[in-house]
């Protein structure tokens, strides 16, 4: 039983790691193919809830700093979520 449990844990870890690689690859794809990579990067960060990148900064404040409308970041976040299968 113990060996089977360890195999199941390894399988679960592998599946999670592959999913993370898929998400990272998709995020990088979005950045590389974007005409506005700064906006796209923050859109992806908001979509993923990356507080390590965002801190407590609201999307409207980040948009102001980037010189764009909040909708631009929101669209980037929505596009990433839709294409990654994580649409809420």
Helix (H, G, I), strand (E, B) or coil at 1: coil
So what's the pLDDT on residue 27?
94
So what's the pLDDT on residue 63?
97
CA distance 29 to 57: 25
pLDDT digits (tens, 9 = 90+) for 43-74: 999 999 999 999 999 999 999 999 999 999 99
Helix (H, G, I), strand (E, B) or coil at 8: helix
pLDDT digits (tens, 9 = 90+) for 10-23: 888 999 999 999 99
Neighbours of 15 (CB within 10 A): 10
Could you tell me if 68 and 37 are in contact, meaning their C-beta atoms sit under 8 angstroms apart? no
pTM score, two decimals?
0.81
So what's the pLDDT on residue 49?
93
């Amino acid at each position: 039983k113990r060996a089977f449990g360890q195999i199941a844990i390894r399988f679960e870890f592998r599946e999670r790691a592959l999913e993370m690689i898929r998400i990272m690859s998709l995020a990088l794809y979005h950045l590389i193919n974007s005409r506005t990579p700064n906006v796209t990067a923050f859109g992806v960060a908001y979509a993923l809830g990356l507080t390590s990148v965002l801190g407590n900064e609201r999307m409207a404040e980040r948009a102001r700093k980037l010189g764009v409308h909040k909708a631009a970041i929101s669209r980037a976040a929505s596009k990433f979520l839709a294409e990654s299968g994580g649409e809420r």
